[in-house]
């Protein structure tokens, strides 16, 4: 994790410069692990984000707008009661660790001035946001309550005295002098790597920066402490001191490092020499960096938490439908053998003069080219005419059953295709809003029950993802079935071109013509977009159908996203859209 004590120190400095003396205006809790405090200071408005989600806990100023629930949670209401109108008077880092305390000057019920603090502990799955009385350290409440059955070492709930997390025996690196550093090396286990020694000995130093210190010293990070010569210890101290001096002088610069495939590798508040081969994106402050780094990851984590049970439910429904289709097809095979019952009935009527033997009627089968004798089983309680009528009824029943089974099989297969398309849409969700559209769709189609607190909101025009072709024509993409229908039948004009990956779940794509001629390259670009936004995006090639939008129809009473089309063309394309630019 790149957010160590050093990075938190840079955040503390940024918060101190912007928030000291500021007044708390509004407090929100967009998520169960997340608090946003709106602060007015020096004529500006700042949004302070505190999150203790186990995957990405942090604190920083943010510019990202988050959607708030209709009903604020209890912890949010408590903070509003105590802190609305309060002023920030101090921000400090505890023990140079990943713990930050923000102190507020508030008024109690008797209008007496009193100080209260919010402490955020950034400790992975043990991260927490704690609200307490600054002087007495009595906990007022926390966003996560920790009882004895959860931790026997340290409990966190109202009424207890706050104590910092159990400290390991580590040294504060900003207070270390050269003599202390050398003694720490000589007193340590000689069989420890210098890389391990640095981040395990000093508070607030992550493996990330430990590797940088080794690199600056031009020492192999896997060198044992016992192998170090005096001049190498001197080099190590010099690199260590240089980093600490940057911290003391607040000489921070903020970068996100990514590999050759543009995957984020990490971030830090220094220009790291050990990562000089990585691509680097620079930011003015830690808030902008963390907004950029975590925005997509936050969305994916929230979506993942919400959809796990939904995906399981849809997969269960698909499995049931597949078993149902298998059973219906077996029944259809029986129905297809109905002709023999019609033949039995007709042969009995043609041979009413023959006397049955042993509940069987031996007749010549005139429907067989070889005209062999066959035995027709009879019900002894019925005469020959009644037996023939019984076979005719069975024939007619199976004939009707075949018609119904074909309808049921077609309905089940359509439902399977629809649910698989919904699953694909869920996998492609990038925002909570996209996911909410899918929830609305599933509720309207009867696959999910409407929650009692569900409020019908005014339908808003969906935000359609749009690319630009090489000749400047829009290539529009539907991200879910509701968007697909809106795109195809509301935004698409009759002369526009419609694209979709052939026979697999995927997005509807519209290539706008604006009544102009299109180039061959533009057709290929739109087909690539359709291939990329389909289940075949990881294939080397995908077959894509395309036709004029006027040829695309939606059958009555069909499910969202389902269309039929004719007069189409097809092409094989590589689902690579690197050459197509977003609008």
Q: What is the 3-state secondary structure (H, E, C) of 309-360?
A: HHHHHHHHHHHHHHHHHHHHHHHHHHHCCCHHHHHHHHHHHHCCCCCCECCE
Look up the pTM and report it. 0.64
pLDDT at 433: 75
Beta bridge partners of 545: 500, 570
| Cβ within 8 Å of residue 502, ≥6 positions away | 542, 543, 544, 545, 570
**Token pair recorded at residue 415:** 């439902």
Q: For helices 384-427 and 286-335, give the axis angle rounded to 10 degrees.
A: 170
Q: Using the structure block, give the residue that is written with the tokens 């001191």.
A: 241
| Cβ within 8 Å of residue 563, ≥6 positions away | 488, 508, 552, 553, 554
Residues 542/531, Cβ–Cβ less than 8 Å: yes
Residues 105/87, Cβ–Cβ less than 8 Å: yes
Neighbours of 419 (CB within 10 A): 21
Neighbours of 216 (CB within 10 A): 18
Residues 571/546, Cβ–Cβ less than 8 Å: yes
pLDDT at 346: 87
**Token pair recorded at residue 232:** 């190498």
CA distance linking residue 379 with residue 390, whole number of Å:
9
CA distance linking residue 297 with residue 303, whole number of Å:
10
Q: For helices 5-19 and 230-248, give the axis angle rounded to 10 degrees.
A: 20
Residue 182: which of 140, 234, 146 has the closest Cα?
234
**Token pair recorded at residue 12:** 């503390």
Q: pLDDT tens for the chain, 583 residues: list them.
A: 479 999 999 999 999 999 999 999 999 999 899 999 999 998 899 999 999 988 889 999 999 888 888 899 999 999 999 999 999 999 999 989 999 999 999 988 778 899 999 999 999 889 999 999 999 999 999 999 999 888 888 999 999 999 998 766 889 999 999 999 999 999 999 999 999 999 999 999 988 899 999 999 999 999 999 999 999 999 999 999 999 999 999 999 999 998 876 777 889 999 999 988 899 999 999 999 999 988 767 776 777 777 777 888 888 999 999 998 888 888 787 776 777 888 888 888 988 888 888 888 888 888 877 768 888 899 988 999 999 999 899 888 888 888 888 888 888 888 888 888 888 888 777 777 778 888 888 888 888 776 544 455 555 677 889 999 999 999 999 988 989 999 999 999 999 999 999 999 999 999 999 999 999 999 999 999 999 999 998 899 999 999 999 999 998 888 888 999 988 999 999 999 988 888 7
What is the H or E stretch that residue 242 is in?
Answer: helix 230-248
- Burial status of residue 503 (CB atoms within 10 A of its CB: 0-12, 13-18, 19 or more): exposed
CA distance linking residue 495 with residue 509, whole number of Å:
14
Q: What angle do CA 42, 43, 46 make, to 5 degrees?
A: 80
**Token pair recorded at residue 403:** 């018609």
């Amino acid at each position: 994790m790149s957010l160590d004590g050093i990075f938190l120190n840079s955040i503390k400095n940024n918060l101190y410069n912007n928030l000291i003396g500021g007044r708390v205006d509004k407090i929100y809790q967009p998520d169960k692990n997340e608090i946003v405090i709106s602060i007015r200071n020096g004529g500006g408005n700042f949004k302070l984000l505190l999150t203790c989600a186990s995957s990405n806990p942090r604190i920083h100023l943010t510019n990202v707008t988050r959607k708030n629930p209709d009903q604020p949670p209890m912890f949010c209401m408590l903070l509003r009661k105590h802190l609305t109108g309060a002023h920030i008077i101090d921000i400090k880092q505890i023990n140079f660790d990943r713990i930050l305390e923000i102190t507020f000057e508030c008024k109690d019920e008797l209008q007496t001035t009193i100080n209260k603090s919010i402490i955020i502990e950034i400790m992975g799955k043990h991260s927490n946001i704690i609200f307490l009385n600054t002087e007495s350290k009595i906990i007022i409440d926390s966003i996560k309550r920790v009882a004895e059955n959860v931790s026997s070492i340290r409990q966190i709930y109202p009424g207890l005295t706050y104590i910092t997390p159990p400290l390991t025996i580590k040294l504060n690196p900003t207070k270390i002098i050269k003599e202390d550093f050398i003694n720490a090396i000589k007193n340590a286990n000689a069989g420890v790597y210098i890389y391990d020694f640095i981040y395990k000995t000093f508070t607030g130093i992550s493996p990330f920066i430990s590797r940088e210190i080794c690199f600056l010293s031009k020492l192999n990070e896997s060198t044992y402490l016992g192998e170090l010569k005096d001049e190498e210890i001197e080099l190590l101290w010099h690199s260590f001191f240089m980093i600490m001096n940057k911290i003391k002088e607040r000489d921070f610069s903020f970068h996100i490092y990514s590999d050759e495939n543009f995957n984020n590798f990490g971030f830090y508040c220094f220009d790291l020499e050990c990562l000089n081969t990585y691509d680097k994106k620079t930011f003015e402050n830690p808030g902008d960096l963390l907004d950029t780094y975590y925005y997509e990851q936050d969305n994916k984590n929230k979506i993942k938490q919400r959809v796990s049970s939904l995906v399981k439910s849809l997969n269960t429904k698909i499995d049931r439908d597949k078993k149902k289709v298998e059973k219906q097809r077996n029944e259809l095979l029986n129905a297809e053998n109905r002709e023999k019952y019609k033949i039995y009935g007709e042969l009995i009527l043609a041979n009413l003069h023959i006397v049955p033997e042993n509940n069987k009627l031996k007749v010549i089968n005139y429907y067989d080219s070889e005209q062999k004798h066959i035995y027709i089983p009879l019900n002894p309680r019925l005469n020959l005419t009644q037996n023939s009528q019984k076979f005719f009824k069975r024939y007619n029943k199976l004939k009707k059953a075949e018609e119904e089974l074909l309808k049921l099989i077609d309905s089940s297969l359509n439902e399977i295709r629809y649910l698989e398309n919904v699953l694909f849409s869920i996998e492609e969700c990038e925002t909570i809003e996209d996911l909410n559209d899918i929830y609305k769709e599933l509720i309207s189609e009867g696959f999910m029950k409407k929650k009692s607190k569900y409020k019908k909101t005014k339908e808003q025009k969906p935000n359609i993802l749009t690319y630009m072709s090489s000749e400047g024509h829009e290539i529009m993409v539907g991200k879910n079935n509701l968007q697909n229908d809106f795109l195809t039948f509301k935004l698409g004009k009759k002369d526009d071109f419609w694209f979709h990956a052939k026979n697999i779940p995927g997005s509807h794509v519209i290539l706008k013509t604006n009544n102009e001629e299109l180039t061959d390259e533009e057709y290929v670009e739109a087909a690539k977009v359709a291939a990329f936004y389909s289940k075949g995006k990881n294939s080397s090639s995908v077959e894509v159908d395309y036709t004029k939008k006027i040829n695309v129809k939606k059958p009555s009473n069909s499910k969202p996203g389902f269309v039929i089309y004719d007069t189409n063309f097809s092409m094989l394309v590589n689902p690579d859209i690197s050459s197509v630019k977003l609008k």
